[in-house]
Structure 1
Amino acid sequence: MEILTVCGMGFGTSLMLKMTVDDILAEEGVKAEVSALDAGSAKGRSADLIMASADLDSALESVDVPKIYIHNLTDTDEIKEKLLQYLNK
């Protein structure tokens, strides 16, 4: 499984989200390749899932990959709940 964590510039927010996702996946025993990218680079990549801040939904709407939008990137519970919901479907 390949997961992209995305932010506008590809630095701070996407890396913070990547670290949180890596921790959640490790806790759950799920193996995945997680990459942090900017929104422009994400448009040219294929993946199983994109996770991004909710404010990027219009920038990523043309990308044909399932997406999870996070409203509070410091809320580990929100990230975990949405990620596990996706993984368990």
Structure 2
Amino acid sequence: MKILAVCGFGVGSSMVLKMTLDKVVKELDIKATVENTDLSTAKATTADAYFTSSELTNELQNSVKGPVFPVKKYMDKNEVKSQMEKFLNERNE
């Protein structure tokens, strides 16, 4: 499974989100690769799920086929875990 953490430039906030996603993936024992990237690259990259800010959600949803999950607090493991669980539940339906 491929998961992308997306921000405008692919450097700062997406790296923070990636680190939190890595913790959640490990905690939930999911076999996944988590990468951080910028918005333009994310639009051209196929992934199973995209995690990003609320501000970029609509633009990303209009450009990719996979599900997009907004995250407000990138360092909040509980929020990120909640969105990851939402993705996993939707995927299993």
The answer to whether TM tops 0.5 is yes
Distance in 2 (alpha carbons) for counterparts of 1:81 and 1:44? 26
Number of residues paired by the alignment? 89
8 Å contact from structure 2 (residues 49, 87) kept in 1: no
**Alignment TM-score, normalising by the size of structure 2:** 0.88
1:9-88 map, 5 Å: 9-60=9-60, 61-88=62-89
Q: Which runs of 5+ in 1 are unaligned?
A: none
Question: Aligned to 1:45, what secondary structure does the other structure show?
Answer: coil
Question: Aligned to 2:35, what secondary structure does the other structure show?
Answer: strand
Distance in 2 (alpha carbons) for counterparts of 1:28 and 1:63? 25
Q: Please provide the CA RMSD for this pair.
A: 1.2
Distance in 2 (alpha carbons) for counterparts of 1:88 and 1:59? 24
How big is each residue's C-alpha offset from its partner over 1:31-61, in whole Å with a ceiling of 9 and x where there is no partner?
1011100000001111100000111023312
Moved more, 72-81 or 47-56: 72-81
Moved more, 64-73 or 19-28: 64-73
Matched residue type, 1:23: K
Match of 1:6 in 2: 6
Distance in 2 (alpha carbons) for counterparts of 1:37 and 1:12? 10
